[in-house]
Amino acid sequence: MDLGSCYLGGNADAVEFCPHRPFRHVLAAATYTLQEQGGERQDRAGSVSLFAVDAGEEDAPRRLRLLHTVETAGVFDMKWSPVAPLLAQADAHGRLALWRLEQEDGSDKGAVLRDVCSGDISSSMCLFVDWNQTAKALSVGLSDGSLSVVSMREDRLEVSEQWTAHQYEVWTCYFDRANPHLLYSGSDDCSFSCWDLRQNPSNAVFQNKKSHNMGVCCIAQNPLEGNMLLTGSYDEFLRVWDIRSMVKPVNVKSLNLGGGVWRIKYHPLIADVVLAACMHNGFAIVKVGTGDAAVVETYCKHESLAYGADWQINEGAEQNKNFSVVATCSFYDRLLRVWQPENLGNL
């Protein structure tokens, strides 16, 4: 069921629901737009907009309300801290920025982003960002094939490690949730890698260059079964990995989703359900349990590249799976949509 939609001021490429009370109704949506400035000059502009999402409103336009917008460099990715309402933004100018989400004028519904700090990570573009579970460090994937680990200081960001990890763009990087010294990465060079940050980071724990036929775009770890890892690729496959043999993980199953798998997000309450952004083939909800992986539902109301996707954490879904709320966005048509899946109650 559709709850609301709107057009953003630029090409929409990322959406993230805040996971922290009292801001679980807040959705951040980001844009990246390449602007011609005459001759060969180009600028990569962007924005981060906050929306209030309230599935309980009877009035449909009130279910998705714009709260606040900040203009930035073009945003490739953003993530909320796991411990506080802090939003990390990776942008096209090679910078990492942190924003604090605050209530506006004491209202429990209003919210604004306040600048905390930012730092120059590289002369290349920052394509992806992930927090470790203590929120004391972030990893950043760069367009020149490098990986950065950035430490959080009181008032600044500090690059603690940076190394050439891949031959081409690093589309994704992901801290192991149980072992934060392990960092996974995926790249346009088709390789899926793991790095032990306790050692020299240039020495990989493993590098799989054979399983993916095209670039590796996203990685996610099962929140209840830490030995299960998912990868998504431009080659249209969602792959399930058993990483108990860390030096040589095993690809235990694969599922073709009919479009490049750009983002995958585990449901916050249903352990074996995943939301996938499938680029040219819309969005899919996939059951990835002990049996075969299978598509449960698809959503094809976007008319452009399916890029951003996320679940809202809400108490209603704890009692009724069909009360789950999803936000999705698509690139060239600049469209943001909020909707509820119809088939989760059957799982």
**What confidence tens digit (pLDDT) does each residue in 54-71 have?**
876 655 556 899 999 999
Q: Give the whole-angstrom CA distance, residue 88 versus residue 161.
A: 18
pLDDT at 34: 87
* Rg of the chain (C-alpha set): 19
pLDDT at 62: 66
β pairing state of 112-120 and 228-233: unpaired
Nearest to 21 by CA among 146, 98, 118, 108: 108
pLDDT at 316: 73
Where are the domains positioned within the chain? 1-344
Fold (topology level) of 1-344? Methylamine Dehydrogenase; Chain H (2.130.10)
pLDDT at 56: 66
pLDDT at 319: 72
SS3 state of residue 110: coil
pLDDT at 60: 56
pLDDT at 41: 61
pLDDT at 202: 81
**Mean pLDDT per 10-residue segment, the chain (347 residues):** 95 97 96 77 89 74 88 98 97 97 77 96 97 97 98 90 97 96 97 94 92 98 93 98 94 97 95 96 95 94 97 80 90 97 84
pLDDT at 100: 97
Question: pTM to 2 decimals?
Answer: 0.95
pLDDT at 110: 81
pLDDT at 299: 98
pLDDT at 224: 87
Q: Tokens for 341, please give them.
A: 């899946």
Give 79's contacts (C-beta < 8 A, 6+ positions apart): 16, 87, 88, 129, 130, 131
Q: Give the whole-angstrom CA distance, residue 37 versus residue 270.
A: 47
